[in-house]
């Protein structure tokens, strides 16, 4: 069995977004490999309660650095946890280096003596955080999946300001930071999600990159029911209520359309945009057709997805969009903006991709598409079935873990990627050309 030293600073079964993705990824790989999972000590309470598959859990205490940093970030964000992600990521750069330095000091003897076959840095998943372990590791090193580098659409500068994403103007400066270059030159395999991430990474490292979306699904939570036809369909939005996800677009479609008001919209999520949404509902008298239900657990979201038919997700800067693949797994017909992660996840026949535009254009385009769908139940059912089959084939965690194991085994035997591995059927998302080659 392959022996893996896995680094997952963000790994928590109870924390949304990246931490829970890291947790599920690590848990699944541990079912197929001998995994020693090294994570930050803040995750210990939840991991000790839930475990992480068959992984041996090791905690690294960096709170002498992490705790004051967290307080500083929270202060500079004005106490708002749902915005300013680029800013938060930038300030965490030094902590990532410190965290991996402590790991190297702890495991350098074990790595040099042959206790492990592979080192895999699973999280953080941002391309802007370097890895000291990539530079130091004497055995094959896997980086990722990474996801980042998606430009902010120019038509949404107001949303950028509400998101407090002013640092995004200077993001590309990360490429000049210490240890960034060595991270990509020394890694033996780089898992990079979607074309926008691959385009952001050094061209000279393309021969080691695999287009590998980080998103996955747990079939125990997200699966397709047998749906009976209903005169009144349910459209679902699920996600943080923050400016760049534009939940107001879906609410405004109901304000604009008598056809849609004959149906039902359920908005799942919490965040600073909730007050804005509630004002739109009140202004247009949408209380009979629009319900904002707040934050829900993953199990509750899965249940709501199985009770709905259409998933409307108008986010205009979505890097990964795990919620889209979860909706697809539940047999919903997704309607997304043709940009970023959702555009690659929603393959032909799986749903509708709405062209990018300004806010008013997106409202108009989503309104038209949703009106057509609620009047074409057979089309909705067809999208749902194709979406479910695609999600289960490529994004179930067990399938992703087995594909990762294949990468490990190739690196152990040859310390480079065979050209055919660069076309693993992990995703049918667009491939970046000229990636085949050896280190």
136, two tokens: 């130091």
Mean pLDDT (the chain) is: 89
Average pLDDT over residues 421-425: 51
Q: Report the pLDDT averaged over residues 409-414.
A: 91
**Mean pLDDT value of segment 332-339:** 97
Question: CA 193 to CA 213: how far, in whole Å?
Answer: 4
- Count other C-beta atoms under 10 Å from residue 278's C-beta: 15
Tokens of 182: 């060595």
Is there a contact between 421 and 410 (Cβ–Cβ < 8 Å)?
yes
> 154-191, pLDDT tens digit by residue?
877 777 676 666 566 666 777 888 899 999 999 999 99
According to the model, what pLDDT value does residue 233 have? 97
Indicate left, alpha or beta for 315 from its phi (over 0: left) and psi (-120 to 50: alpha): beta
More confident residue, 86 or 153: 153
Return left, alpha or beta for 205; rule: phi > 0 is left, psi -120 to 50 is alpha, else beta.
Answer: alpha
CATH 3.40.50.720 fits 3-216+397-423, yes or no: no
316: confidence class by pLDDT, cuts 50, 70, 90: very high
Least confident of 200-204, 285-289, 293-297, 423-427: 423-427
Report the distance separating Cα 235 and Cα 362, nearest Å.
17
Q: What is the pLDDT of residue 57?
A: 98
Quick check: 317 and 153 in contact, CB under 8 A? yes
Separation CA 18–CA 39 (nearest Å) = 13
66 has a pLDDT exceeding 90: no
**DSSP state letter for 270:** -
**Six token digits for residue 434:** 């000229």
pLDDT at 65: 78
Distance from C-alpha of 394 to C-alpha of 362, rounded to nearest angstrom: 29
Q: Residue 187 has what pLDDT?
A: 96
Q: Which fold has domain 234-395?
A: Rossmann fold (3.40.50)
- Residue 436 pLDDT > 60: no
| H/E segment holding residue 390 | helix 377-395
pLDDT score at 169: 62
pLDDT of residue 79: 56
* Residue 432: predicted pLDDT: 32
Q: Cα 80 vs. chain centroid, distance in angstroms?
A: 21
Mean pLDDT of 412-416: 83
Which pLDDT band, with edges at 50, 70 and 90, does 234 fall under?
A: very high
Residue 426 has pLDDT above 60, yes or no: no
User: pLDDT tier at 429 (50, 70, 90 boundaries)?
Assistant: very low
Alpha helices in 113-246 (DSSP H): 132-136, 157-162, 180-186, 194-200
Domains of the chain: which residue ranges? 3-216+397-423, 234-395
Helix then strand then coil, % of the chain, to nearest 5: 50, 15, 35
pLDDT value at position 330?
Answer: 98
Average pLDDT value for residue range 414-430: 55
Quote the pLDDT of residue 176. 82
Residue 322 has which token pair?
């795990």
The lowest-confidence range among 88-92, 124-128, 212-216, 304-308 is: 88-92
**Between residues 171 and 273, the one the model is more confident about:** 273
């Amino acid at each position: 069995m392959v022996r893996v030293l896995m680094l997952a600073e963000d790994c928590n079964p109870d924390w949304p977004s990246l931490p829970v993705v890291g947790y599920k990824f690590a848990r699944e790989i541990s079912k197929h490999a001998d995994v020693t999972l090294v994570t930050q000590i803040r995750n210990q309470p939840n991991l000790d309660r839930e475990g992480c598959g068959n992984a041996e859990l090791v905690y690294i205490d960096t709170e002498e650095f992490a705790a004051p940093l967290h307080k500083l970030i929270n202060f500079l964000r004005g106490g708002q946890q749902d915005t300013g992600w680029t800013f938060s990521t930038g300030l965490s750069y030094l902590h990532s280096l410190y965290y991996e330095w402590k790991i190297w000091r702890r495991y350098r003897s074990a790595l040099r003596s042959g206790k492990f076959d592979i080192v895999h840095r699973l999280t953080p998943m941002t391309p802007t955080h370097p890895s000291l372990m990539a530079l130091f590791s004497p055995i094959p090193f896997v980086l990722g999946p990474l996801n980042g580098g998606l430009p902010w659409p120019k038509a949404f500068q107001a949303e950028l300001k509400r998101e407090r994403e002013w640092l995004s103007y200077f993001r590309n400066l990360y490429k000049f930071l210490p240890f960034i270059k060595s991270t990509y030159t020394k890694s033996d395999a780089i898992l990079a999600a979607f074309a926008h991430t691959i385009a952001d990474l050094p061209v000279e490292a393309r021969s080691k990159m695999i287009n590998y979306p980080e998103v996955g699904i747990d079939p125990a939570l997200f699966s397709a029911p047998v749906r009976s036809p209903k005169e009144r369909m349910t459209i679902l939005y699920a996600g943080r209520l923050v400016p760049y996800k534009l939940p107001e677009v879906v609410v405004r479609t109901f304000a604009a359309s008598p056809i849609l008001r004959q149906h039902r919209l359920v908005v799942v999520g919490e965040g600073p945009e909730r007050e804005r949404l509630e004002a739109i509902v009140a202004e247009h008298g949408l209380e009979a057709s629009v319900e904002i239900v707040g934050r829900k657990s993953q199990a509750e979201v899965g249940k709501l997805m199985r009770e709905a038919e259409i998933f409307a997700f108008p986010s205009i800067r979505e890097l990964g969009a795990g919620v889209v693949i979860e909706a697809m797994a539940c047999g919903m017909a997704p309607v997304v903006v043709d940009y970023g992660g959702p555009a690659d996840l929603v393959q032909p026949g799986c749903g509708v991709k709405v062209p990018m535009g300004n806010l008013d254009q997106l409202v108009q385009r989503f309104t038209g598409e949703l009106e057509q769908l609620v009047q074409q139940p057979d089309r909705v059912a067809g999208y749902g079935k194709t979406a479910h089959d695609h999600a289960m084939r490529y994004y179930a965690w067990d399938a992703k873990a087995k594909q990762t194991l294949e990468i490990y085994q190739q690196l152990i035997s040859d310390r480079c990627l065979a050209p055919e591995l660069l076309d693993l059927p992990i995703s049918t998302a667009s491939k970046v050309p000229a990636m085949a080659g050896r280190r």
